[in-house]
Homo-oligomer: A and B are copies of this chain.
Amino acid sequence: MKRTFWTALALTAALIMTSQVTADQGANAMTERTPVILINPFSVPEGKVEEAISFWEAGRDFLAQQPGYISTKLHRAITPDAQYQLINVAEWESIEQFKAATTKMQALPDLPRVDGVTYGPALYDVIRN
């Protein structure tokens, strides 16, 4: 009887894990199943937008190689008076993978910097459509 209970429990656990892997389309079943969204608005001094885009591209090239990266979109304001000239919206498989990747990136010695460019990344869930 005891054996049957544990067998049933193991089978249930295996089924849950299998369905999670399917929902994740192959991603680590221990992480969240819905992507976490990074939104990073950039304040860019006048005349520095092209330089800031190159800075962003260098970061993107590194992050796109890290585990958990899904996709990214860099948005450029259509008017020069917008508070944020650039806003990045990216998808990551989990908070932990995003944090690991950015920690690794910040330790790079040769990442370019742009004077006067500031940014404020934060993580989000999509709650309404």
Chain A residues within 8 Å of B, Cβ to Cβ? 36-37, 39, 41, 53, 56-57, 60, 71-79, 82-84, 87, 89, 95, 120, 122-129
Known: A82-B122, A83-B120. 9 other contacts (CB 8 A): A36-B78, A37-B75, A56-B128, A73-B129, A77-B123, A77-B124, A78-B122, A79-B122, A79-B123
Shortest CB–CB separation between residue A1 and chain B, in angstroms? Answer: 44
A129 with B77: in contact, given A41-B41, A83-B122 (CB under 8 Å)?
Answer: no
Min CB–CB distance A68 → chain B (angstroms): 15
In the bound complex, CA of A73 to CA of B126 (Å):
6
**Copies of this chain, count:** 2
Knowing A39-B87, A41-B41, A87-B39, the reply to whether A75 touches B124 (Cβ < 8 A) is: yes
Closest to A39 in B: B87
